[in-house]
Amino acid sequence: MSVFPKDFLWGAATAAYQVEGGFEADGKGASNWDLFSHLPGTTYQGTNGDVAVDHYHRFKEDVALMAELGMQTYRFSISWPRILPQGRGQVNEAGIAFYSNLIDELLKHNIRPMITLYHWDLPQALQEAFGGWESREIVDAFDEYARLCYRRFGDRVDLWSTFNETVVFIGMGYFTGAHPPSLKDPKKGIQACHHVFLANARAVKSFRELGINGQIGFVNVMQPHDPISDSPQDRRACEIAEGIFTHWLYDPVLKGEYPAELLAMAQQAFGVPQFAPGDEALLKDNIVDFIGLNYYKREMVAHNEDVEGYAINTSGQKGSGRELGFKGLFKLVRNPNGVYTDWDWEIYPQGLTDAIGRIVKRYGNIPTYITENGLGAKDPIVEGEVRDQPRIDYLRDHIQAIGAAIEQGADVRGYYPWSFIDLLSWLNGYQKQYGFVYVDHANNLARRKKQSFGWYQRVIASNGERL
Ligand code: BG6
């Protein structure tokens, strides 16, 4: 018998900028990514989401493929500037119509939508008006945007999440500079991150005030950290890394407060986050209904006296990246016994069971969705077929890892592999493929089912028994 509950949801995920295209279509405003990706040297070989995989124009064909795959749920994001071109004020009805039609098409095929409100594409107008996430004004703006979405789509959508992976858009936007607005300014970054938590709390509050029939959650990267050795220094370094990358991001939305030790460290070093009257209560009173975990890899951590900065492997040439280090705190190091992808991500399914267990231990048995999980690879085409056996192996092992967590009592309710279809990887172009559906960029973006498509179809049909 399957270990997955009868009502377990099997789906897949995407995000607006990575699939839609139509970057100037029908009154859409510019996003921060529309600008950033057009700047020389920012992305792999200058790739951008101007056309992406043209989901904006082909969503019906795509939903038909989702239905054929047997998907019971689909996680996608709304492009804020598509429906509010200036970020606030004037609504673009054509943008609303696109999402409304997408939702109807999904429901027609019995696919339950899960909406992400923010998957990194900020209206550029708000970046220019007040510096985007750096300003408290963003909290009101985000709340207005969220309310608009609830009002227009809340009659048909009952699974929502506010944000996707704060650690990435704040970390890379304000600490490493690899994402817009390309700053290396921890003080601004920590305060911007605080505004994200406030915006989340306000949007959760509005969701409840408007009486939307459904659940609202928050999606985070889940990257468990393990020390490279048993030495007290490595274990302490690991504790700090786990504190920054996990507790800092999860505590405010699941406990309504920051981890105390790190908060004191940040305020001492940088004087932030600055709280305004009412912030603490807002966070405390608006805990999310569920947590979404995006799991790809774990990280090994070591004590660090020398390494500062990092280099990302964006080419898929094994070993071309250099792991992240914060001098005096910790560094991420390679596991000598680990198995790695071509982009140097460790493949470690056990980490997913561990990660879910760590969440339960710290926050209790909260409803959990695995909102992303997948293998980025250059899939070979053999005799006309996209043979992605490594993806099948990766997903199978991770589904088993979720099954193990469920057997241990965790309340995991759904699984959304990343991604439904091959799409734009923000910094890695189109060659880092994740989908069940291949997109032929040399042939008018024609869709083709991969080997993994038939496999996942059977997994869903058997509720996770036929792996
Ligand atoms: C997550 C994001 O970080 O990982 C996705 O939510 C992203 O948008 C995915 O595409 C995989 O990362 P990458 O860098 O391989 O595209």
How high does pLDDT run on average in the chain? 97
- Is residue 10's pLDDT more than 90? yes
Least confident of 321-330, 336-345, 427-436: 321-330
Q: In the chain, pLDDT over 70 holds for what percent of residues?
A: 100
CB within 8 A of 336, min separation 6: which ones?
none
Alpha-carbon distance of 328 to 349, in angstroms, equals: 30
User: What distance in angstroms lies between residue 106's CA and the mean position of ligand 1's atoms?
Assistant: 23
Which protein residue's CA is at the shortest distance from atom 12 of ligand 1?
425
Given the structure tokens 């006309």, which residue do they identify? 384
416 CA to centre of ligand 1 in angstroms:
13
Distances (CA, A) of 308 to 96, 113, 181, 328: 45, 42, 21, 9
Closest to 433 in 3D by CA, of 411, 415, 448? 448
What is this structure's pTM? 0.98
Residue 367 has pLDDT above 90, yes or no: yes
Pocket of ligand 1 (CB under 6 A): 15, 18, 164-165, 168, 294, 372, 376, 418, 425-426, 428, 432
Atom of ligand 1 nearest to the CA of 427: 14
Look at residue 306 and tell me whether its pLDDT is greater than 90.
Answer: no
- Which pLDDT does position 170 carry in this prediction? 98
Ligand 1, from 425, 428, 432: best to mutate by most atoms within 8 Å of Cβ? 425
pLDDT at 323 over 90: no
- Scanning the structure block, which residue is given the tokens 């996430």? 133
pLDDT digits (tens, 9 = 90+) for 51-61: 999 999 999 99
Q: Rg (Cα) of the chain, in Å, rounded?
A: 21
Question: Among 418, 421, 422, which is best to mutate for testing ligand 1, by the most ligand atoms less than 8 A from CB?
Answer: 418
Ligand 1 centroid distance, CA of 230 (Å): 31
Whole-number pLDDT of residue 322: 86
Residues 103-124: what's their mean pLDDT? 98
Tell me what pLDDT residue 242 has. 96
Is 63's pLDDT higher than 90? yes
Question: What does the alpha-carbon distance between residue 154 and residue 73 come to, in Å, rounded to a whole number?
Answer: 16
pLDDT of 273 reads 98
Query: What local confidence, expressed as pLDDT, does residue 267 receive?
Result: 97
- Can you say whether the dihedral through the CA atoms of 11, 15, 21, 23 is positive or negative? positive
Q: Note the pLDDT tens digit of each residue in 232-288.
A: 999 999 999 999 999 999 999 999 999 999 999 999 999 999 999 999 999 999 999
What local confidence, expressed as pLDDT, does residue 309 receive? 82
First to last CA, the chain: 13
| CA 296 to ligand 1 centroid distance, Å | 9
- Compute the distance between CA of residue 307 and CA of residue 319 in angstroms, rounded to an integer: 17
Q: Is the pLDDT of residue 355 over 90?
A: yes
Percent of the chain topping pLDDT 90:
97
- Catalytic machinery residues: 372
